[in-house]
């Protein structure tokens, strides 16, 4: 047991510190094991329930069938185009939603008058379920790429504007006073103080928006697309191939998680020097 003990207490600077490290490491290990056990139990139970027909395998499929379908489709080259389309739409929608939302926030920060004028419209648009605008996007942009991206943008843009504008407004006025005493013009107040102070908030909207963009893209694909993971879900449902639906859900879960972590990583990089 000596090597194990050494490994658990590696990096210790005293006996007490070693004990603490060991306790913390065992705790983390326990958390990891529990997470894995839940996953295995869930998949195992699903498989068994499906095999013994406790649940209808036609409706709820089974992990082994999902896996088979996934591998078959992957090898047949049927999945790439759907994954690429959806991921691409999500990235574009997410970036445009965030950028446009921030730009609008900047414009209304600049003009107090405009912010007063636009206030009720923002409130209404924010309250509005953007998904309900779907048919309008189809009419305006046709059934495809553009309509899906429009949906992703619509879902994230208003909330971005509201959140970012809110952070612009909450900048401590003493910072603004500070640069004003140096004779700063409005544009300098913005670039030297307001934007950098609000930068962490803008970055945090990225994380929210990446989730919202997924919602927009999947709903957009439900409504119009002939391509993409959202389309696969609807198609699978229509031909009653629910295994296909589960395959799509599985891929979406993986892609969305990867994208979320990438955004989190970028956030960490960008905010590295902040306290």
DSSP state of 145: H
> Can you tell me which of 83, 193, 217, 242 binds another protein, judged by CB under 8 A?
193
| Nearest-5° Cα angle at 185, 183 to 189 | 100
| Cβ count near 218 (within 10 Å) | 26
> Which string of x and - marks every residue 150-179 that binds another protein (by CB under 8 A)?
----------------------x-xx-xxx
274: contact with another protein by CB under 8 A = yes
Nearer to another protein, 10 or 169 (CB): 169
Asked whether the beta carbons of 205 and 163 are under 8 A apart, the reply is yes
Stretch that binds another protein, among 48-56, 138-146, 186-194, 239-247 (CB under 8 A): 186-194
CA 217, CA 149: separation in Å to the nearest integer? 7
Residue whose CB is less far from another protein, 174 or 238 = 174
Size of the site for another protein (CB under 8 A): 19
Q: Is 275 in the site for another protein (CB under 8 A)?
A: yes
The verdict on 183 binding another protein (CB under 8 A) reads yes
Alpha carbons within 13 angstroms on the beta-carbon side of residue 11 total 6
CB count within 10 Å of CB 96 equals 18
DSSP 65-124: HHHHHHHHHHHTT-SHHHHHHHHHHHHHHHHHHHHHHHHHHHHHHH-HHHHHHHHHHHHH
181 belongs to the binding site for another protein (CB under 8 A): yes
Q: Taking CB under 8 A as the rule, does residue 184 contact another protein?
A: yes
Question: Nearer to another protein by C-beta: 14 or 275?
Answer: 275
> In the stretch 244-273, what mask flags binding to another protein with x, by CB under 8 A?
-----------------------------x
The structure tokens 């913005």 sit at 190
**Dist. CA 262–CA 6, nearest whole Å:** 34
Cβ-based nearer residue to another protein, 65 or 192: 192
**Cβ atoms of 193 and 187 closer than 8 Å:** no
- Of 107 and 178, which has the nearer Cβ to another protein? 178
Q: Select from 201, 72, 222 the least CA-distant residue to 135.
A: 222
**Shortest Cβ 176–another protein spacing (Å):** 10
Closest distance between another protein and the C-beta of residue 168, in Å?
A: 16
Nearer to another protein, 199 or 235 (CB): 199
Site residues for another protein, 3-22, by CB under 8 A, read none
Contact status, residue 70 vs residue 236, Cβ threshold 8 Å: no
**Residue-wise burial string across 128-148, b where 16 or more C-beta atoms lie within 10 A, e elsewhere:** eebeebbeebbeebeebbbbb
Dihedral sign from CA coordinates of 67, 72, 75, 80: negative
CB of 172 to another protein, least distance (A): 8
| Residue 194 vs 256, nearer CB to another protein | 194
Question: Stretches 39-47, 54-62, 105-113, 189-197: which one binds another protein (CB under 8 A)?
Answer: 189-197
Q: Which residues bind another protein (CB under 8 A)?
A: 172, 174-175, 177-184, 188, 192-193, 196, 199, 273-275
């Amino acid at each position: 047991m000596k090597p194990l003990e050494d490994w658990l207490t590696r990096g210790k600077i005293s006996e007490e510190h070693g004990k603490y490290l060991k306790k913390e490491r065992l705790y983390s290990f326990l958390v990891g094991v529990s997470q894995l056990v839940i996953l295995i139990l869930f998949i195992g139970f699903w498989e068994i329930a499906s095999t013994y027909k406790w649940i209808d395998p036609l409706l709820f499929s089974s992990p082994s069938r999902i896996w088979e379908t996934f591998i078959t489709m992957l090898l047949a080259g049927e999945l790439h185009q759907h994954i690429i389309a959806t991921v691409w739409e999500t990235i574009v929608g997410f970036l445009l939603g965030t950028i446009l939302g921030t730009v609008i926030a900047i414009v209304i920060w600049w003009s107090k008058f405009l912010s007063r004028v636009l206030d009720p419209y923002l409130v209404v648009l924010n309250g509005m379920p953007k998904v309900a605008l779907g048919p309008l996007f189809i009419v305006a942009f046709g059934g495809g790429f553009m309509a899906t991206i429009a949906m992703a943008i619509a879902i994230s843009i208003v909330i971005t504007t509201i959140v970012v504008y809110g952070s612009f407004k909450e900048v401590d006025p003493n910072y603004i006073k500070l640069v004003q005493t140096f004779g700063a013009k409005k544009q300098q107040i913005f670039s030297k103080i307001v934007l950098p102070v609000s930068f962490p908030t803008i970055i945090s909207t990225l994380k929210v928006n990446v989730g919202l963009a997924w919602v927009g893209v999947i709903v957009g694909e439900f409504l119009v697309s002939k391509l993409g993971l959202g389309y696969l879900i609807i198609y699978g449902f229509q031909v009653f191939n629910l295994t296909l639906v589960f395959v799509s859900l599985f891929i979406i879960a993986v892609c969305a998680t990867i994208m979320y972590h990438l955004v989190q990583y970028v956030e960490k990089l960008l905010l590295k020097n902040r306290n």
